[in-house]
Amino acid sequence: MVHFTAEEKSTITSLWGKVNVEETGGEALGRLLVVYPWTQRFFDSFGNLSSPSAILGNPKVKAHGKKVLTSLGDAVKNLDNLKGAFSKLSELHCDKLHVDPENFRLLGNVLIVVLAAHFGKEFTPEVQAAWQKLVTGVASALAHKYH
Amino acid sequence: MALSAEDKCNVKEFWEKLGENTHVYGTEALVRTFLSFPATKTYFPHFDHSSGSPQVQAHGKKLAAALTLAVSRLDDLPEALSSLSDLHAHRLKVDPTNFKFLSHCLLVTLARHHPGNLNPEVHASLDKFLSYVSSVLTSKYR
């Protein structure tokens, strides 16, 4: 189970406070679909995913990205109990959505690249390390109920 | 997953814009890797791993130079990186997982410094390039 130091919690929470959830979510999910095109397999109903610009401009991608990142906000509020916080979502992703947990790791890392691009100098190696722990913890929590 | 003509173009153009700073980025990528993925430090037990360490800086410079070489030889990467490939297979024996960590931290470093140049298409091409370099470097492992 991942354990966050007080400093890491503070680092994560403070950056989260500045994140535009809607924009960042859409950007991260969009880039996931562009950089790792096989992830598009889960989004047949999303319409036009034929090019990077189509993907990044797709309203369903943006909406879903916002949903996913809003969920990450729950993680930030529950750093001491990620498994508990994501228990239902974990069951959903296994039983209904059938998503390979590797995709959570891919999305987590794409999100980190997006945060680095957005926050620049502020996204120091220390800040990145705290966020890597978060995305790893979330990915693992989301995979926890798989069977 | 071969590099398309467009990928090669994206990588070359992006790399050119980095100018003389590649050694800084190589070093920063290493620092990020050591901090975010502490197990990677096991390959450098003799290093001072902190930011500012002359050993990390020297190694970051080597890394950057190898990548710059790779960018200039995208059409024959296995040949261009042949001796590095031998080195990693027969002497260094770095577990293949670690190339993913370093590649990711390189992308994070480049995103942090050049967000405007890292649009989704370029991001994809760079990710493919780093993945290809990693596979060449581990190609002689067994």
Contact A117, B118 (CB under 8 A): yes
Other Cβ atoms closer than 10 A to B54: 9
| Model confidence pLDDT, tens digit, residues A7-26 | 999 999 999 999 999 999 99
Please report residues of B whose CB lies closer than 8 A to that of A34. Answer: 120-121, 123-124
* Preferred mutation among B4, B25, B34, B36 to probe A, highest tally of A CBs within 10 A: B36
Nearest to A23 by CA among A57, A65, A76, A54: A65
Residue B51 has pLDDT above 80, yes or no: no
Q: How confident is the model at residue A1 (pLDDT cuts 50, 70, 90)?
A: confident
Nearest to A71 by CA among A85, A92, A56, A58: A85
- How many other CB atoms are there within 10 angstroms of residue B45's CB atom? 7
Could you give the ipTM of this predicted complex?
Answer: 0.92
Average of per-residue pLDDT across A43-58? 96
DSSP one-letter string for B43-90: G-TTS--STT-HHHHHHHHHHHHHHHHHHHTGGGHHHHTHHHHHIIII
Q: Which pLDDT value is given to residue A93?
A: 95
Minimum CA–CA partner of B128 in chain A: A35
The pLDDT score that the predictor gives to residue B68 is: 98
* Distance from C-alpha of A17 to C-alpha of A28, rounded to nearest angstrom: 17
pLDDT confidence of residue B1: 66
In this predicted model, what pLDDT tens digit does every residue of A120-140 receive, in sequence order? Answer: 999 999 999 999 999 999 999
Q: Which of B51, B108, B121 sits opposite A113 (nearest CB)?
A: B108
Residue A48: helix, strand or coil by DSSP? coil
Give percent of chain B above pLDDT 70. 99
Average model confidence (pLDDT) for chain A?
A: 97
A33: confidence class by pLDDT, cuts 50, 70, 90: very high
pLDDT tens digits for B5-39? 999 999 999 999 999 999 999 999 999 999 999 99
Q: How many CB atoms lie within 10 A of CB A31?
A: 26
Taken in order A13, A18, A24, A25, the sign of the CA dihedral is positive
Q: Give mean pLDDT, residues A51-80.
A: 96
> CA-based diameter of chain B, in Å?
41
Is a pLDDT exceeding 90 seen at residue B102?
A: yes
Could you read off the pLDDT of A93-130 as tens digits, one per residue?
A: 999 999 999 999 999 999 999 999 999 999 999 999 99
Burial of B10 (0-12, 13-18, 19+ CB in 10 A): buried
Residue of A nearest to B114 (CA): A117
**What average pLDDT score do residues B116-122 get?**
97
Which of A132, A134, A135, A136 to probe the B interface (max B CBs under 10 A)? A132
Give yes or no for residue B2 having a pLDDT over 90: no
Q: What is the pTM assigned to this prediction?
A: 0.95
If you average pLDDT over residues B44-56, what whole number do you get? 91
pLDDT for the residue numbered B131? 98
First-last CA distance in chain A: 18
DSSP designation for B35: H
